[in-house]
Amino acid sequence: MKNVNKTNDKEKFRPVVGIDLGTTNSAVAYIRYGKPEIISSPNGKELIPSVVHVDTSGKIVVGKDAASALVAMPSRTIAAVKRKMGSSESIDIAGKKLLPHEISSLILKELKGYVDRVFGEGEKEAVITVPAYFTDEQRRETKLAGELAGFIVERIINEPTAAALAFGFEHIDENSHILVYDLGGGTFDVSVVEMMDGILEVKASTGNNYLGGEDFDWKLVDLFAEKMIAKHRVDPREDLRGRALLKEEAEKAKILLSTEESVRVSLPIVTVRENQPLGFEIVLHRKDFVQLIDEMLLETIDSVRNVLKEAKLRSADLDEILLVGGSTRIPRVAELISDFFQKEPRVDIHPEEAVVLGAAIQAGLKSGVLSKDGLIVTDVTPYSMGIAVLKEWQGLAIHPGGFHVIIPKNTTIPTTRSEMFCTSRAGQSAVSIEIFQGESEWAKKNHILGDFLLEGIPPNHAGAEEIEVVFRYNINGILEVTAKCVSTGEQMSVTVQDALVRNSQELYLESVNRLQEFLKKATSSDEEEWEGFQIMMQEMLQEEEEDDEYEDELTHDELREEAITLSERTKAMVGNYRGNERRQIKQMVSKLNKAILKDDFEELQTAIDKVTDKLIDLEM
């Protein structure tokens, strides 16, 4: 890794951008003419799906086209990798294995391409957002993913803090208490923020790293699967492609139910048994969907109640409630928030864009571009941090493995805290300092951050030698722990988390090598999978955008392709019908196939119309 220090910062400008690396969608933004602006993808989209696909030629595809491949080629496509950040478990993709942060780096590399189009070649720095409740390890791997993508990453910012920044930037002269309710695709966070005289101070944060729109989707998947099990005695979730198809349909239904009271889900083919296609059909009402997810939504209200308690505020003390994250579009969310606060949440912020715009503002503050705006941001520690100690157990005995908090949760950062400890046994010449983060009174139930051994303590009576432990936690999320023997001055320090390099460069280099090998060898050995779903894939990849104009006139080749697709789909549906209807469908498919072979434009059009009309009649 090259040295990123500059001898003269003025000689070379280094752009700083803000990135929202989301579970469902990701985006990058920067400060342009004093305002945050999202950098669009080449096809003009400001948000791209956080999906990675490896096509059969070995090319890495990220974004919309990758999302289109989730159903057709699930073994070559990965989505929602953010939920796996911090895990050492490898993920299979195209017959290869990558770690979660390595797949995340491919998404960030795509975003870096957008940045390079704006700024040209040269170093780029990124401020990347994470859920407020991300652990140290998850934050560390997010930074590492950014470095692997080619960014310099010196700052991580919590997502609700970024959203509050986006709001505060437009209301810098207001003094208020704000609650940021952030329910995204994979995580939930809630923070209380105070705005006062241009200072944005986070008072408290809490959340759940495994609660979001993905969980709502899977609830629907289970409902659909139960419908098929009842009808066909087949569980489609056991089929990789069937599972992906149900997930895609569940997400579509969820989105529609935010604006519609009911939605009809009809999938003629989900999986196949004994060469027979199996599907299902259901009319899903919003109230049924709410019933499926209401328990999880009520959990978020419990978190709201807890964060207010930690911030020492009442619900009536809140001036504004901001709803952030795509899942807040679910009407039940606004309903619960309104009932709890007896106040309507703000509707003038974009739930999916607020975080990336706030990240861009933080980037602007860091680079100095916004230094004259007078906005100052302070954040808090998401977890308590401390060390393992001997602890009284049930009032009867001293037990090892107790957790002693040195920096409590929701302490404003940067901060330095120190406490005195002593040796526990006679003749002790060394102490082991084990560092944890979490809220349990027992260390083993918390998340270990690191450990080191302080040696050189003079042998003495138990309790005679004092050890001072100092925790320093800075604005970049860097925790430095120092232990010192008071009588001798002997001390040792360890940096638990630094901005670029953890214990060594080994993890970084291992990931670089693995990614290089992956990009070199991610070629196709499963042509059968591609051939079997080529028509489906083609249709998905050519799906028109909502704002595109529909063209009535089809070329001869396009009409023929449409006829082939319709023929394949209709043949697969034949098994769903019986008697006269089945015979009629077979006859029409036969005529359609003859028209395809004859390749006559008018006959093709007529045959397509007849098949389509018949299918519509059967559906009514």
Catalytically annotated residue among 20, 136, 215, 320: 20
Task: List phi, psi (to 5°) of 351.
Answer: -60, -30
Catalytically annotated residue among 141, 159, 248, 465: 159
Inter-axis angle of helices 506-521 and 100-119, to 10 degrees? 80
Beta strands 199-208 and 320-324 are unpaired
Q: What residues form DSSP beta bridges with 480? A: 472, 495
From CA 483, how far away is CA 489, in angstroms rounded?
10
Known catalytic membership, residue 173: no
- Specify the long-range contacts of residues 301-309, CB closer than 8 Å, at least 24 apart: 301/336, 301/340, 303/188, 303/190, 303/206, 303/207, 303/208, 304/179, 304/181, 304/190, 304/337, 304/340, 305/340, 306/206, 307/179, 307/190, 307/191, 307/192, 307/204, 307/205, 307/206, 308/179, 308/192, 308/204
From CA 190, how far away is CA 187, in angstroms rounded?
10
DSSP state of 413: E
Task: List phi, psi (to 5°) of 239.
Answer: -100, 120
Known catalytic membership, residue 82: yes
Task: List phi, psi (to 5°) of 306.
Answer: -70, -40
Q: What residues form DSSP beta bridges with 432? A: 453
CA distances, 279 to each of 71, 85, 573 (Å): 15, 34, 9
Q: Which residue has the tokens 């003094």?
A: 175
DSSP state of 51: E
Q: 470, 416 in Cβ contact below 8 A? A: yes
Beta strands 188-196 and 397-407 are unpaired
Single-letter amino acid, residue 341: F
Which pair of structure tokens corresponds to residue 124? 């780029």
Spatial CA neighbour of 507 closest among 153, 144, 154, 150 = 144
Residue-level length of the chain: 620
Catalytically annotated residue among 110, 147, 182, 189: 182
Known catalytic membership, residue 159: yes
Q: 467, 420 in Cβ contact below 8 A? A: yes
DSSP letters spanning 505-564: SHHHHHHHHHHHHHHHH---S-HHHHHHTHHHHHHHHTPPPTTSPPP----HHHHHHHHH
- Strand, helix or coil for residue 598: helix
Task: List phi, psi (to 5°) of 506.
Answer: -60, -45
Q: Report the b/e string of 271-300 with b at 16+ CB within 10 A.
A: beeeeebbbbebebebeebeebbeebbeeb
Contacts (Cβ under 8 Å, ≥6 apart) of 400 = 388, 390, 391
Catalytically annotated residue among 64, 82, 366, 484: 82
Known catalytic membership, residue 366: no
Residues identified as active-site: 20, 82, 159, 182
